Amino acid sequence: MYKYGSGERPDHSLAVVVGAGAMGMAVAHRLAQRHRVLLADIDGDRAESEAAAMRDGGCDASAIACDVTSPEAVAALADAVSEQGGLGVLAHVAGLSPSAQDFHLIVRVNLLGAALVADALLPLARQGSAAILIASMAAHSFAAPEPVLEVLSEPNATDVAEKLAQAIGPESVNPGMAYAYSKQGLLLYARRNAAAWGAKGARIVSLSPGMIATPMGAREFEASEQKRKMFAASPLEREGTMPEIADAVEFLASDRASFISGTDLLVDGGLTAALKG
């Protein structure tokens, strides 16, 4: 039923944006131009206040508290998506950077969480749906050896972090490795699940941002000399912006990307290319 004076758009399909942080909200605002938006975040108050601000701005937005590492919370998210008529777009943006420090938590949020969410929402996808998993250029920095690839191939195992720690050995268990491998796992997940999404007429891709100007990115600059050195190699001599990531997500979510699935889009201003030479 249409409500006068509201921005409600029952005629639009639903975009689920997981992660109501800086980049997540840039993506949410952009997708809201053509979708209803459901924001999901472990911080339910943040998600709700961001959704309220979106509604004040004329968007159709709602929110749900969801810890993506909890199968029960993810099942509740899927129920909410089903109640709202099924999935148009999934943008999985939530993630922890190496400054979170905790190997297991980084792997669980970045990889297990994304896999649980995408697995749970696939049954609600339909012709034209698209899932976009935000990875990182860190996923492109080195190739995983075979035993690690085996672990990354089962990202929805609840003990994936423990298995990864075992596969890489104690000398490599650090937050940077958790980040790089969890993001490699997302690239692999999109590749391996293109057929399942394709069977529904839907697509799944990963998107690897390079250095993007966000509070999370700024924290990494503070903490990592390696990141400051890498910045010096940036072909465009600047960070990317959140609207530039939203541009790429908007494209990948749209019908203009209707033949793009099972692959990764690197949005890094050429930095990976410059580093690899």
Ligand X SMILES: NC(=O)c1ccc[n+]([C@@H]2O[C@H](COP(=O)([O-])OP(=O)(O)OC[C@H]3O[C@@H](n4cnc5c(N)ncnc54)[C@H](O)[C@@H]3O)[C@@H](O)[C@H]2O)c1
The two structure tokens encoding residue 266: 């690197």
Instruction: Report the nearest approach of ligand X to the CB of residue 95 (Å).
Output: 2
> Which one of the spans 39-47, 154-162, 164-172, 259-267 is the region binding ligand X (CB under 6 A)?
39-47
Sign of CA dihedral 26, 38, 1, 122: positive
Q: Does residue 60 belong to the site contacting ligand X (CB under 6 A)?
A: no
Pick one of 113, 175, 185, 269: the residue that binds ligand X (CB under 6 A): 113
Residue whose CB is less far from ligand X, 50 or 60: 50
Q: Does residue 64 belong to the site contacting ligand X (CB under 6 A)?
A: no
Please list every residue from 216 through 275 that binds ligand X, using CB under 6 A: 216-217
CA distance 249 to 244: 9
Instruction: Report the nearest approach of ligand X to the CB of residue 233 (Å).
Output: 15
CA distance 264 to 272: 13
Please list every residue from 119 through 178 that binds ligand X, using CB under 6 A: 134, 136
Q: Specify the length of the chain in residues.
A: 277
Q: Which of 117, 121, 148 is nearest to 202 (CA)?
A: 121
Instruction: Report the nearest approach of ligand X to the CB of residue 265 (Å).
Output: 13
**Residues forming a β-bridge with 38:** 16, 62
Residue-wise DSSP of 171-216: GG-SHHHHHHHHHHHHHHHHHHTHHHHHTTT-EEEEEEE-SB-SHH
* Contact string 88-107 vs ligand X (x = CB under 6 A): -----xxxxx----------
Instruction: Report the nearest approach of ligand X to the CB of residue 162 (Å).
Output: 17
Pick one of 184, 193, 206, 214: the residue that binds ligand X (CB under 6 A): 214
**Residues forming a β-bridge with 62:** 38
Residue whose CB is less far from ligand X, 95 or 185: 95
Q: Which residues contact 104 (CB under 8 A, 6 or more apart)?
A: 161, 162, 165, 178
For ligand X, the binding residues (CB under 6 A) are: 19-24, 41-43, 46, 66-69, 93-97, 109, 113, 134, 136, 209, 211-212, 214-217
